[in-house]
Amino acid sequence: MKITGLKLCLLSFGFTLGLSAAEPSKEFINTLKIENEKIQTIVCPFNQEKHLEVFENPLKTNGTFYYQKDNKVCMSYDNPKGDLLLINGDQFVMITNGKTQNKNAQNKNKFGALKNLLFACFQGDLNSIGDCSFDYSEDSNHYIIVAEMKKKSRILPEKLLLKYDKKNFIISYMEMLESNGNKTVYILENKSINESVDTNVFHYDK
């Protein structure tokens, strides 16, 4: 997928390259959301790292990430095989080490809150992340957003670090830091954009 006129658009925003942090401009926030609204599907490999206080080394897993614009996400794990994170509308399924949670992710419960947060990040909708402060910076390949929640929650992370590809504004890195010091990192690479996806990957009927 090509985004035309992107360089001219960025120049008009007056972005400064470098790592100095500042609040993201309204123009950037709007552009990030608008460009992501063009994305119908994403399929790509993902790598996950869980950094736990009780372990010296991170726990590394991987699999395939599927996204469809109408509130559908599937993270199908190859390692460990059989693990799953699936969101389809209000359905929220997690399979970890053979244990299954199949929940109704309504807006008022914890699964709904987590679902809304994830889609806000995946869809580049910073205004929907919640009550938080933002820092914006750049490196050579990414727009970098740090979102720090103003209120602590047992459900949602305390801080997010998000990286969006400069070439297409799509998320490629998400780091979720919990109040207890644990963090989870997701890295999305080699993305296929706006190609057909087998809708069966978003269904779990067991």
Name residue 138's amino acid. Answer: E
Whether 16 shows a pLDDT value over 50: the answer reads: no
Domains of the chain: residue spans and CATH? 16-199 (2.50.20.10)
User: What local confidence, expressed as pLDDT, does residue 170 receive?
Assistant: 98
Average pLDDT of the chain is 89
| pLDDT score at 21 | 66
The percentage of residues in the chain with a pLDDT greater than 70, rounded to a whole number, is 89
**Of 59, 34, 90, 37, the residue nearest 202 (C-alpha):** 90
Burial label for 137, CB within 10 Å (0-12, 13-18, 19+), is: middle
List pLDDT tens digits, range 57-83: 999 999 999 999 989 999 999 999 999
| Per-residue pLDDT reduced to its tens digit, 85-143 | 999 999 999 999 999 999 999 877 889 999 999 999 999 999 999 899 999 999 999 99
Residue type, 188: L
Which two tokens mark 152? 């602590």
Residues paired with residue 49 on neighbouring β-strands, in sequence order: 60, 185
- Residues in a beta bridge with 91: 88, 104
What was the pLDDT predicted at 76?
97
What is the pLDDT at residue 19?
Answer: 47
Percent of the chain with pLDDT over 90: 77
Distance CA 157, CA 147 (A): 10
* Band of residue 154 on the pLDDT scale cut at 50, 70, 90: confident
Q: What is the pLDDT of residue 20?
A: 54
Q: Which amino acid is at 198?
A: D
3-class SS of residue 196: coil
* Contact status, residue 127 vs residue 23, Cβ threshold 8 Å: no
- pLDDT category at 13 given cuts 50, 70, 90 is very low
Is the pLDDT at 182 greater than 70? The verdict is yes
Has residue 2 got a pLDDT over 80? no
- Mean predicted confidence (pLDDT) in 21-48: 96
